[in-house]
């Protein structure tokens, strides 16, 4: 089955609202191939400015995180209701920086994923092993456990609103990229796991992005792998020229 390529920029804690607005204008103008989707994930405070720029465009707007509960006494948190009202359509959950710096567990990520789906948001669920886990030969098992934990209680119909982002922790922001063959092997294994958890048709339809030092120079080879359906891009998405080359990788 032909899956779209989803090219997403995770701006992390970079760009002030005025800078984010300018970058959003540039992303809006970026040409993309047929079957390619563009997405940006600004910080919470930049979302209103970016939403204004992207309204009615072909660029999807994502948040980088959200609270596990709808509202209430949760100082410093951001609710799904707030995100929806601003025009956010997706949320990135379980990013390795959330897992490893802020200690988010699969259970916590799963609660957020279920809440996001309940409110009609799409979810980009990030998974990936550390270097130590890879060297111990546990890459697939770690990803499988994160899939099982993150997707617990999510049914086959809801899987249409889930994107998986495989991001080996050792490749994020380090300049080290998994070789296309190594990335493909994990993507294929994860698609197999999704077939086991759901069905082959769910597995065939799910977009699995690769993330970890994706750049203009390595994107085409990564995207040529049969189970790699897009990229979640950190550093290289902050520069309009680099992200434009990534979005137009097939040109």
| Binding interface with ligand PEP (CB under 6 A) | 10, 12, 167, 172-173, 211-214, 232-236
- Please, are residues 106 and 149 in contact by the beta-carbon 8 Å criterion? yes
Residues 188 and 227: beta-carbon distance below 8 Å:
yes
Facing residues of 92 across strands?
Answer: 124
Residue placing its CB nearer to ligand PEP in the complex, 42 or 234: 234
Strands (E), the chain: 5-10, 36-41, 59-63, 90-93, 122-127, 162-166, 208-211, 230-233
Q: Shortest Cβ distance from residue 99 to ligand PEP (Å)?
A: 12
Nearer to ligand PEP, 68 or 218 (CB): 218
CB of 12 to ligand PEP, least distance (A): 6
Can 119 be counted among the known catalytic residues?
no
CB of 196 to ligand PEP, least distance (A): 26
**Which of residues 115 and 230 has its CB atom nearest to ligand PEP in the complex?**
230
Inter-CA distances, 175 with 98, 109, 170, 214, Å: 20, 27, 9, 8
Closest-by-Cβ residue to ligand PEP is: 234
| Distance (Å, whole) CA 191 – CA 164 | 10
- Annotation marks residue 135 as catalytic: no
Question: Closest approach of Cβ 214 to ligand PEP, in Å?
Answer: 5
Q: Which is nearer to ligand PEP, 151 or 232 (CB)?
A: 232
**Under 8 Å between Cβ of 207 and 163:** yes
From the centroid of its chain, how far is CA 117? 15
**Closest CB to ligand PEP among residues 198, 210:** 210
Among 104, 129, 133, 167, which one carries the catalytic annotation? 167
Identify which of 251, 206, 215 has the alpha carbon closest to the alpha carbon of residue 233: 215
User: Exposed e or buried b for every residue in 126-151, given b needs 16+ CB within 10 A?
Assistant: bbbbbeebbeeeebbebbbebbebbb
Supply the minimum distance, in Å, between the C-beta of residue 167 and ligand PEP.
5
Catalytic center residues:
95, 167
């Amino acid at each position: 089955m032909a899956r779209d390529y989803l090219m997403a920029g995770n701006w992390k804690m970079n760009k002030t609202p005025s800078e984010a607005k300018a970058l959003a204008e540039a992303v809006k103008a970026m040409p993309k191939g047929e079957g390619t989707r563009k997405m940006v994930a600004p910080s919470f405070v930049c979302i209103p400015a970016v939403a204004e720029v992207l309204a009615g465009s072909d660029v999807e707007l994502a948040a980088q995180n959200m609270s596990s509960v709808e509202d209430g006494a949760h100082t410093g948190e951001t609710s799904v209701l707030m995100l929806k009202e601003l025009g956010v359509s997706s949320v990135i959950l379980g990013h390795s920086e959330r897992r490893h710096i802020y200690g988010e567990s699969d259970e916590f990520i799963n609660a957020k994923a279920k809440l996001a789906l309940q409110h009609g948001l799409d979810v980009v669920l990030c998974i990936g092993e550390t270097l130590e886990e890879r060297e111990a030969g546990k890459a697939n098992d770690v990803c499988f456990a994160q899939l099982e934990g993150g997707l617990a209680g999510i049914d086959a119909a809801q899987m249409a609103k889930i994107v998986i982002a495989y991001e080996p922790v050792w490749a994020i922001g380090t300049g080290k990229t998994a070789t296309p063959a190594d990335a493909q092997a994990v993507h294929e294994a994860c698609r197999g796991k999704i077939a086991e958890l759901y069905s082959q048709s769910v597995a065939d339809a799910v977009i699995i992005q690769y993330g970890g030092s994706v750049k203009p120079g390595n994107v085409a080879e990564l995207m040529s792998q049969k189970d790699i359906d897009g990229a979640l891009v950190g550093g290289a998405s902050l520069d309009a020229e680099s992200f434009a080359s990534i979005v137009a990788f097939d040109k």
